[in-house]
Amino acid sequence: MALPNDQFYIDRIMKGDTQAFTHLVERYKTLVYTLALRMIKNTEEAEEAAQDTFVKVFRSMEKFKGESKFSTWIYRVAYNTCLDRIKKHKTVPLTVDIDNYGSRQLAAAENVLDAMDGEERHRAIQECLQQLPGEDAFLLTLYYFEEQSLEEIAKIIGIKANNVKIKLFRCRKKLGEIVRARLEPEIISEYERERK
């Protein structure tokens, strides 16, 4: 039996059934926490940001007009909540120099990633994502892990879809640099094996 869709619970909440909100929290809590953790990079702060997100969503349910998907709206609230926390605590995101990075190194890093088993590859990518600035990790998570479209991401972060495409390109380059640095020892050893 399929679970009711978001609109079913939204309709119940609008009719005064506040318990219906717990179903939406259950559906989105892991996702909201993951997005918050990607941006804030601190588990306690991410938990608080996730809680704040759900409080804000509950208090402003009447503002949800259904013009976008509920998931897009809740991601937008989570994104803004995280930005507010980052500004409040004035955390300085890690920056990565991508100017000195060549396509040959990218290809070498991809070859090493391809050689890893699924779990090891997943762990390596997650570790590298944690090193990205929060907003970059957030964008990559929405696009690749949550499979949000460019248009949905544009609504979430409040920019045009073409700008999302540009930001994603830059985020991928930064992630590529981090992956390369993380995998450089493996790349060197693989290169040495090939030369023998």
Residue 44 confidence (pLDDT) above 90: yes
C-beta neighbour count of 60 within 10 angstroms: 11
Q: Read off the pLDDT of each residue in 179-184 and give the average, rounded to a whole number.
A: 76
| 116 shares its domain with 171 | yes
Out of 89, 118, 147, pick the residue that ends a domain: 89
pLDDT in tens, 126-168: 888 888 888 898 898 888 888 889 999 999 989 999 999 999 9
Whole-angstrom distance, CA of residue 28 vs CA of residue 10: 14
- 39: nearest Cα among 75, 83, 74, 76: 83
Q: 29: pLDDT confidence band, cut at 50, 70 and 90? A: very high
Domain span at residue 30? 6-89
What amino acid occupies position 180? R
Torsion region of 106: left, alpha or beta (phi above 0 gives left; psi -120 to 50 gives alpha): alpha
Q: Read off the pLDDT of each residue in 63-75 and give the average, rounded to a whole number.
A: 89
pLDDT in tens, 86-118: 888 764 444 433 444 344 444 444 444 555 556
Out of 89, 119, 138, pick the residue that ends a domain: 89
Share of the chain above pLDDT 90, in %: 40
| 83 shares its domain with 107 | no
